Structure 1
Amino acid sequence: MGPLPLLLALALGMGGIGFEARPAAAYVALMAGQKAQPLNGNFNKVPVLHSNQPEEVEGPGILINTAPGYAYAAETGQPLRNAQYNFNGEFGVHMHHKYFPPNRGQLSRSSRRPELTLALILINPGGRAVHIRFENGAVRNSFEAPYLQEYKMGVRPLGPRPWNTGPGDATAIQVLRGRLDPKLADEITIPARSRLVLFQTQLPALGIANALLKGRSDGPFQMAVVAAKEATSECDLLTVLDQGRLAPGRVYLNRIADINGRRVFSRVGGVAIGDGYTASLTYDLDANGPLHVPLTSTIRHNFGTREVQVNPLASRMIDSSLDNVGTYGVRFDVDLNLKGSGPYELVLSHPVASGASKPFIAFRGSLQIRSEEGLQEVHVGMRSGQSLSLAQLNLRAGQLNPVRVSLVYPADATPGHLLSILPASQHAIFQARERQIELARNAAGSAPAAAPISPPELTEADGLLAPIEFTPVAPLTPVPPLIPPMTPPPSYRGSQPSPMSQSLYDRYQQALEAQQQMLRGLMGR
């Protein structure tokens, strides 16, 4: 390992003994010297149709169908069994697709591009009518909710009109607020032995369409999602379903063994059990120090807790992931009952994979924070490796301070986030340290780099992790110390630090002193 990677590893709290650049290794600098603990929450039992495989659709055809039977793959001509499932009672829908036609390299974003019509079809195979009521949901495409990458980064108040950060965030906000889009019917009846198109939206080439919906039926029914070209009527959409041909773009059909062996995740095409995750935790900040808990954790990113917040699939297409790895559209409600006093920061983090060449956008979505001071709604645009403060919490001594964090996990985010509560003074130190690390990175960037070496064989995450590259950096010229000295946490309202708090502070101080000593040794080379 060259001087700069080790230098940054130490400054970020990765430790200097036994550190390896492992492809799946990921770290959160905010947790340096601290541990996370599991939430031990639960998913509910509501079945949700997920139509996200293939994510990149290349042409018209069936995307998913829960009725019995088969449809034929455009790539191979082989019959693939439907993701058979009968919905009855509470249910949900999540659709997320991009249109990438074969000639996409010749398309211009500035001119009119071809489109597909994306539609959700309801099927009643029974002998009596089925009545459905819808609670909340929305449908958006890239025309209605354009994604402006650089303009929406950081944390800002959400406001009554959501930020346009793409269709996934736009629909998630409606569900988070419990609203039903006026363009959607609040109730509908499917006659016996019939089918109908519930909604349709345009899917522009190089663009995205997303839908989230929650409802309840009084009888069994099935659902299908189709993409049609030049559809002018409901009959055109039903004809696509009757043709029995899957939409092209199923790039994982030759990797079924890798999916089953969990070497790739693919995307979700099936029925997941659970549209909501709830957890409750009581924690004493005075006695135990900062709190870190996983939020949308995965097998790869659970921050040492071994808690995997991924819900299972009851039915799936053969090229779908084995479970709902993205948890897109799932509502998370985390109740934290906190004991402490004074100002604390509520922080959301995303890990950075060791050796990652460039940060990627890991989250663009919206959250609600409820406390005794009221409701805050914030929009967050986060890059990998970042830690962003969502809100300041003013905790009252001698009582439990309830805080609820809620979000509907938006499509195109990368799961595996960390939720932290730490003293405002400690967060200020962390921010100062991050600024100095950035100065060190900038200084290293001005030095000529050696020729890149080939990266090791990586385990693919296919959209859930950014590509990882390893590039050696020329020796770094000495820079000022990266870690400012730790100061004792202030006491609030006249209270003194508890023995446990002082012990925690001592451990921080010892770790920082050890890191400073190693850094001085490195810079003295």
Structure 2
Amino acid sequence: MAGQQAKPLNGRFNDVPVLHSNQPEIVEGPGILVNTAPGSAIAIETNQPLKNATYTFNGEFGVHMHHKYYPGDASKLGGRRQRGLLTIAAIAINPGDQPVTLRFSKGSVKNSFEAPYHPNKLMGVKPLGPRPWNTGPGDATAVQMLRGELDRRLPRELVIPPRSRRVIVSTVLPARGIANGLLRGSSDGPFQMAVVAAEETDNEQQLIAVLDRGMLAPGRIYLNRIAEIKSGKVFSRVAGVALGDEYKALIRHDLAQGPLHVPLTSTHKHHFGTREIQVNALSTRMVDSAVNNVGTYGVRFDIDLNLSGEGPYDLVFSHPVASGRPPFTAFRGSIGIKSAEGYQEVHVGLKSGQSLPIAKLNLKGGELNPVRVSLVYPADATPGHLLSVVPIQQLAILRRREESLEAARQAEAARRRSVSPTQAPPALNAPTAQDAKTAKTKEQDKAGPKPNNPTPASKPARPRQTFPSTPLPPPPVLVAPRSGLNPMPPAMILPQRVNQSLEQRYRDAIRAQQEWLRRLQGR
């Protein structure tokens, strides 16, 4: 993005209320996870009541659940012993005197044993198959939401009798596993919801009994950091009701004026200079919940790009946040791209700091080229992404630069491995033993004849040897010409002289090492 700027999307969330159950993310045992009915429940950690995230749904609604099970009882972790099992269930509560019918349009529930994640096979960009259940539970549920599908395990319709409770959906979560659920539906009357964890069971009354006991599930690690959560110094997880399960934006851009960069899932920390915050608010929350839905898990993003330009371009998805941490998996999810050439879905495994082309765009001159990018943001991804449309040359130049730097790093590593571990090679300008002897003779000649009774001379110290210094070259000058219908903006261009300079440094280092080895053999 050198010399370039990102543009805000100026999109909007809808106002559909969504129950988010993600705090505590790591559940240690049975209990209530979140409840929107009036009242409170006792936290095991403090033995004090915590107020419920009170909210009454009526009409369209959504549900997002994401939890891991690490039992406090280590004997249930598995290994040689049988692994513990925990049931995660969403419960609908009808407080009124009339029956309420829930109808579900799309949704899915998966755990990490039904939808395991294989990172070695799924990094980079790959076409998405019809049943991508090896992409982890967060992406597996998001794919079905992206496609508008309703998992066969979920009911299309559920009637809640007056003043009663019904289990909407449940899944069994083995210890050290992850469960994720996404639902979208509507009701014909007011109702409330709760999510509970219970010892493995599919009995509806046993699941409802967890709600009646009024104890919160253990694992609430942020109860002693409430002030930091409110001040924004600490991001907890979300337990409450967020307003919005879809974000839509439309932008028009003339690529003759330069590449397009827009934030996707931007946050208060990472908005790329646009000051656009794509985070939806919470209407109600538990006291140890995050103050807003900063993860945007389960939110569908539909970004319409109306592009003017001609020729081949790359649609690029990036996570350019410099965090100071080693690279981590910043996104593992699925993206749909619709253009004049049709619709395609790709799975993207993206590390922090990476920019990956997710589609080729062949734009026609003299007309608008509509492109829609859609994704349901999956759990276990890290917000702060950038969506770009750039000339194919710009990404090719970036790749050549990355390859050159990687080759330099590998050459440096190979050189260091070839050095003897018992003695370091000399520096490029380190004096040899013969140089030291010659220098001593000259000093003696200047000092004149030795005295008649000299004191025993000490043996001259051997010059200290060091590794040759071969620093990487400075960053290249970022200059690019503009010409014709396909102007190149200021981009990451690696001058030829940088490659030549780097190669010369390593030649010098190799010659110095060979000279050092010859001297060792002559001793």
Q: TM-score, normalised by structure 1?
A: 0.81
Work out which of the residue numbers 349, 355, 369 in structure 2 matches 1:381: 349
Alignment of 1:477 onto 2:477:
no
* Aligned 1:220-231 pairs, distance under 5 A: 220-231=190-201
| Secondary structure at the counterpart of residue 209 of structure 2 | helix
Q: 1:377 to 1:84 in 2, by over 3 A?
A: same
Distance 1:156 1:401 in 2: 24
Name stretches of at least 5 consecutive residues in structure 2 with no aligned partner. 418-466, 509-523
* Aligned 1:88-107 pairs, distance under 5 A: 88-104=58-74, 107=77
* Aligned 1:363-382 pairs, distance under 5 A: 363-382=331-350
- Residues 67-118 of structure 1 show CA distances to partners (whole Å, capped at 9, x for unaligned) of 0000000101010000000000000000000001124598346864111011
Q: Could you tell me whether the CA contact under 8 Å between 1:104 and 1:206 is conserved in 2?
A: no
Distance 1:475 1:327 in 2: 50
- Give the letter aligned to residue 83 of structure 2: R
Work out which of the residue numbers 300, 306, 312 in structure 2 matches 1:331: 300
Q: Which has the larger radius of gyration?
A: 2
Q: Could you tell me whether the CA contact under 8 Å between 1:334 and 1:406 is conserved in 2?
A: yes
> Could you tell me how far 1:198 is from its partner in structure 2?
1.1
> Could you tell me how far 1:211 is from its partner in structure 2?
0.3
| Secondary structure at the counterpart of residue 138 of structure 2 | helix
Q: Could you tell me whether the CA contact under 8 Å between 1:43 and 1:276 is conserved in 2?
A: yes
* Aligned 1:345-494 pairs, distance under 5 A: 345-356=314-325, 358-443=326-411, 477-478=470-471, 483=476
- Give the letter aligned to residue 182 of structure 1: R
Name stretches of at least 5 consecutive residues in structure 1 with no aligned partner. 1-30, 449-473
Work out which of the residue numbers 115, 140, 160 in structure 1 matches 2:110: 140
Alignment of 1:258 onto 2:228:
yes
Alignment of 1:193 onto 2:186:
no
> Could you tell me how far 1:55 is from its partner in structure 2?
0.2
Alignment of 1:37 onto 2:25:
no
Distance 1:441 1:261 in 2: 42
Alignment of 1:235 onto 2:172:
no
> Could you tell me how far 1:225 is from its partner in structure 2?
0.4
| Secondary structure at the counterpart of residue 237 of structure 1 | helix
Alignment of 1:64 onto 2:28:
no
For 2:428, the equivalent position in structure 1 comes to none
Identify which of structures 1 and 2 has the higher relative contact order when contacts are C-alpha pairs closer than 8 Å and 6+ apart: 1
For 1:8, the equivalent position in structure 2 comes to none
> Could you tell me how far 1:497 is from its partner in structure 2?
3.6
Q: 1:312 to 1:233 in 2, by over 3 A?
A: same
What is the aligned-residue RMSD (CA, Å)? 2.7
Q: 1:67 to 1:83 in 2, by over 3 A?
A: same
Alignment of 1:274 onto 2:244:
yes
- Residues 395-432 of structure 1 show CA distances to partners (whole Å, capped at 9, x for unaligned) of 00000000000000000000110000000111111111
For 1:165, the equivalent position in structure 2 comes to 135
Distance 1:434 1:200 in 2: 47
For 1:459, the equivalent position in structure 2 comes to none
Q: 1:442 to 1:512 in 2, by over 3 A?
A: closer
Distance 1:421 1:105 in 2: 52
For 1:310, the equivalent position in structure 2 comes to 279
| Secondary structure at the counterpart of residue 9 of structure 2 | coil
Distance 2:410 2:228 in 1: 39
- Give the letter aligned to residue 376 of structure 1: Q
- Percent identical among aligned pairs is 63
> Could you tell me how far 1:443 is from its partner in structure 2?
5.0
Q: 1:113 to 1:42 in 2, by over 3 A?
A: same
Q: 1:380 to 1:110 in 2, by over 3 A?
A: farther
Q: TM-score, normalised by structure 2?
A: 0.82
Q: 1:216 to 1:349 in 2, by over 3 A?
A: same
- Residues 99-151 of structure 1 show CA distances to partners (whole Å, capped at 9, x for unaligned) of 01124598346864111011110000001011111110000011210111222
Distance 1:127 1:441 in 2: 71
Q: 1:440 to 1:132 in 2, by over 3 A?
A: same
> Could you tell me how far 1:183 is from its partner in structure 2?
1.2
Alignment of 1:152 onto 2:122:
yes
Q: 1:243 to 1:485 in 2, by over 3 A?
A: closer
Q: Could you tell me whether the CA contact under 8 Å between 1:432 and 1:484 is conserved in 2?
A: no
Q: Could you tell me whether the CA contact under 8 Å between 2:78 and 2:175 is conserved in 1?
A: no
> Could you tell me how far 1:34 is from its partner in structure 2?
1.5
Distance 2:469 2:237 in 1: 42
| Secondary structure at the counterpart of residue 353 of structure 1 | coil
For 1:204, the equivalent position in structure 2 comes to 174
Alignment of 1:300 onto 2:269:
yes
Distance 1:487 1:231 in 2: 64
Q: 1:253 to 1:444 in 2, by over 3 A?
A: farther
- Residues 440-484 of structure 1 show CA distances to partners (whole Å, capped at 9, x for unaligned) of 444566769xxxxxxxxxxxxxxxxxxxxxxxxx99615578759
Q: Could you tell me whether the CA contact under 8 Å between 1:152 and 1:381 is conserved in 2?
A: yes
Q: 1:237 to 1:42 in 2, by over 3 A?
A: same
Q: 1:306 to 1:315 in 2, by over 3 A?
A: same
Q: Could you tell me whether the CA contact under 8 Å between 1:436 and 1:482 is conserved in 2?
A: no
For 1:24, the equivalent position in structure 2 comes to none
